[in-house]
Amino acid sequence: ESPMWLLARSEPERAEESLLVLRGTISPNMVEAEFKQMADHLATKNSKTTWASTFQDLRKPEAYKPLIIMNMFFLFQQLSGVTVVIVYGVKFAKDAELSEDAYTVALFIGVVRVISTFLTTWLCNRWGRRKPAVAMGVGVTLSLLVLTGYLSLRHSYPETIPSTPWISIICILVNILTSSIVFSTMLWSMLGEVFPTNVRGV
């Protein structure tokens, strides 16, 4: 276990042993000084942190504004239907008259989700969080509108609307790509970034 974790649970002997193992070749005197510093920091933190002070911290704008933003993100995640598209991707492909290639579409969905993980890292490093989130949100909305519009018209007017399965495939893959970036990878990584340290564990 980590030294800080052991210290927090009143096991100073094991904590110091753990720190000695982690620091390896560093002299015992330096390790002892670092251990004392860790213990003092923990004692100061424990003496200052109370439920009242934590509640006061939560009432500050730098704490409640990120809380509201992240809750809205999670609400949009559920309303976007990202889980539904992943779970029922095969059914959507069959509804789009791709019965023979429906499971191939499911395979492509998995590949696109893996690719979205690397794309998220690149996009966030290049443009931050807001611009990619807005752009991917627009992508999610447009892909779902086109997909539902096409499938509704196709079922309502099968003789008038021609069968074009590639429209459904593109919409499904675009939806998975954009939603995976903003509502899967980026969303969870933001949880550790937007909250102040003193309220992050609450």
Lowest mean pLDDT among 45-49, 99-103, 142-146, 174-178: 45-49
Asked if 180 and 91 sit in the same domain, the reply is: yes
Backbone angles phi, psi at 107, to 5 degrees: -65, -45
Asked if 90 and 182 sit in the same domain, the reply is: yes
Burial class (CB in 10 A: 0-12, 13-18, 19+), 180: buried
Q: Is residue 53 part of a domain?
A: no
Q: Is residue 64 part of a domain?
A: no
Q: Is residue 16 part of a domain?
A: yes
Tens digits of per-residue pLDDT, 123-170? 988 888 889 999 999 999 999 899 889 888 888 888 888 878 788 888
Q: Is residue 69 part of a domain?
A: no
pLDDT of residue 145: 92
pLDDT of residue 198: 66
Report the percentage of the chain scoring pLDDT > 90: 13
Backbone angles phi, psi at 60, to 5 degrees: -80, 150
Asked if 183 and 83 sit in the same domain, the reply is: yes
Asked if 110 and 177 sit in the same domain, the reply is: yes
At position 58, the amino acid (one-letter code) is L
Asked if 34 and 133 sit in the same domain, the reply is: no
pLDDT of residue 59: 85
The answer on pLDDT for 100 being more than 70 is no
3-state secondary structure at position 98: coil
Q: Is residue 63 part of a domain?
A: no
Tokens coding 141: 């909305």
Length of the chain: 202
Tens digits of per-residue pLDDT, 60-89? 888 888 889 889 989 988 888 788 878 887
Q: Is residue 34 part of a domain?
A: yes
Query: Where is pLDDT greater, at 50 or 32?
Result: 32
Asked if 27 and 86 sit in the same domain, the reply is: no
Which residues constitute the domain of residue 26?
Answer: 3-46
CATH of the domain at 175: 1.20.1250.20
Q: Biggest alpha carbon distance in the chain?
A: 84
The answer to whether 178 and 186 have CB atoms below 8 angstroms apart is: no
Tens digits of per-residue pLDDT, 21-46? 877 766 778 888 888 888 877 776 66
Tens digits of per-residue pLDDT, 102-115? 788 888 888 999 99
Asked if 83 and 180 sit in the same domain, the reply is: yes
Q: Is residue 98 part of a domain?
A: yes
Alpha helices in the chain (DSSP H): 3-8, 12-23, 28-48, 51-58, 61-79, 82-87, 89-95, 102-127, 130-156, 165-179, 186-194, 197-200
The answer to whether 16 and 29 have CB atoms below 8 angstroms apart is: no
pLDDT of residue 119: 92
Q: What is the pTM of this model?
A: 0.67
* CA distances from residue 45 to 37, 50, 161, 199 in whole angstroms, order as listed: 12, 10, 67, 13
The answer on pLDDT for 49 being more than 70 is no
pLDDT of residue 68: 92
Report the candidate in 124, 34, 158 with the shortest Cα–Cα distance to residue 15.
34
Residue 35 CA, distance from chain mean position: 34
Q: Is residue 68 part of a domain?
A: no
Alpha helices in 128-161 (DSSP H): 130-156
